[in-house]
Every structure is written in C-alpha cells, then in structure tokens.
Amino acid sequence: MDHPRELAGYALPGHGIAPAEHLLGLPGFWPAYYGPVWDAFADDPEPFGADHADVDAAAEALYDGTDVWPAFRIPLPQGRTVWVVHRNGPDDAGTDYLLTDPGQPRERELAAIEGHFRGPGLSWPDLVAMAHSAPADSEGVRDPDRRLLLLLPAYGDADTPVEEARERIAAALVAVGVDPGAAPRAAERFLDHPFWESPYWPGPGDSPLSGSRGAP
C-alpha cells in the first residue's frame, strides 16, 4: 500500500494510509464514525436506518485495521486537502484532522480525537466554507453534506448562529438517510462538543483557511 505523498512523514513505520471514501456507504458508518465523540449515536443508530450489527461492522472497518489506516480526503481550493485519518496504532489510537498544503513541507493538525484531545480546529464559518468548496474534478469527498458531517468533530465556535447551524446540520443528516423527524434533535447534539468548550475565534484572518493557527 503506497503512502500518500502529502503524509509521507505522518504514519508510523510499518503503517500505511489509504483513502477510504468507499466506507461512507456502509449502513452503520455515521453512528460508528461519531461514536468516539457522541456515543449516543452508536447506542441508538435507528435514526440513521442502521442497527447495532451495522454499527459494529462499520466500526471494525474504521478502527480495527492497524496496518493500513483509513483516511477521508476533503479537497479544498489551491491544492489543499483536509485528511481525516483514523490513526489505529496499537498504543496510540485516535482520529486526526490534518490540513495539507502544497506550499508547506508537512501537514498541520486541526484537531485530534483521542484521550489527550486537541481542538477545536474549525469555526462555524470555516466549517461551512470547507463543506462547500470542493474543486471541480478533485479526488476525495466532494458532496457538501458529507464534507460537513465528516468535519463536525473538529468544529467548535461560541459565536455559532444556533438556528442556522441546527438547520444546516439537520439538512445534511437527512441527505445521508437520517429520518427527517429525528434530524433536528440529532443536529442539536453537535452543538455541544463533549471534548472541549467552544472558543471565540479572533477573526476571519485567524482561520485555517487563511493559513494561521486559529483559536488557541
């Protein structure tokens, strides 16, 4: 398995990184994906049209492969890409949100979901902008709803327009098969991140899209 060139210095020796967009079609994908942050989705996958066996199968595909780590590519303008990497190391597991830029020698971490979590890496405007900025003919996840849903665990913003966010997230959930009656309540959960308190972002010039570090 070839290592993506942009992440050549990221994986541990003996471990590869492989694009895994095909896993998005698994029936239990979204409850399994969100389980490490919002465990209620994995405990109650029915609104996603899945059962516990579906969640177990998706979780195995996402988190059990220690030799080749599944990664989701979210292409951005100017050749940049956000990589969502399931770092399934035997002693150091987690999910990393990494930004690569052809003008930079190494990837930059936006957030990490693990025991020693780090984040948030995205404000609400960044999240929406990234969801809707897939370049034409780019490789990876191009659908704006799936892009937004993949990036949600890296998001946190005290200035989030709550009603707008709830409606936008609910619409994305419906687009991936969530019961429309259950989507607004499910969307509400994403506005309360259990790993960190939402910060006040300094301004648009301090966002990941601008190339700066963003919120402390």
pLDDT range class, residue 194, cuts 50, 70, 90: very high
The reported pTM is 0.90
pLDDT for the residue numbered 93: 86
* Two tokens, residue 121: 């890496």
pLDDT at 17: 86
The pairing of beta strand 16-19 with beta strand 68-75 = parallel
Residue 28: C-alpha distances to residues 117, 191, 201 (Å): 24, 22, 34
Q: Is 138 buried (19+), middle (13-18) or exposed (0-12) by CB count in 10 A?
A: middle
Q: Please state, in angstroms and rounded to a whole number, the distance separating the CA atoms of residues 187 and 190.
A: 6
The token duo for 20 is 């895994």
E runs forming strands in 63-122: 68-75, 81-88, 93-100, 108-113
Q: What is the pLDDT of residues 108-142, one digit of tens each?
A: 899 999 878 999 999 999 999 999 999 998 999 99
What phi and psi, each to the nearest 5 degrees, are found at residue 114? -165, -175
Task: Judge whether 35 and 42 are in contact, CB under 8 Å.
Answer: yes
3-state SS, one letter per residue, for 143-202: CHHHHHHHHHHHECCCCCCHHHHHHHHHHHHHHCCCCCCCHHHHHHHCCCCCCCCCCCCC
CB 108 within 8 A of CB 99: yes
Question: What would the pLDDT profile of 166-181 be if each residue is shown by its tens digit?
Answer: 999 999 999 999 999 9
The pLDDT score that the predictor gives to residue 91 is 74
* pLDDT over threshold 50, residue 3: no
Q: In this predicted model, what pLDDT tens digit does every residue of 44-90 receive, in sequence order?
A: 999 999 999 999 999 999 998 778 899 999 999 999 999 999 998 77
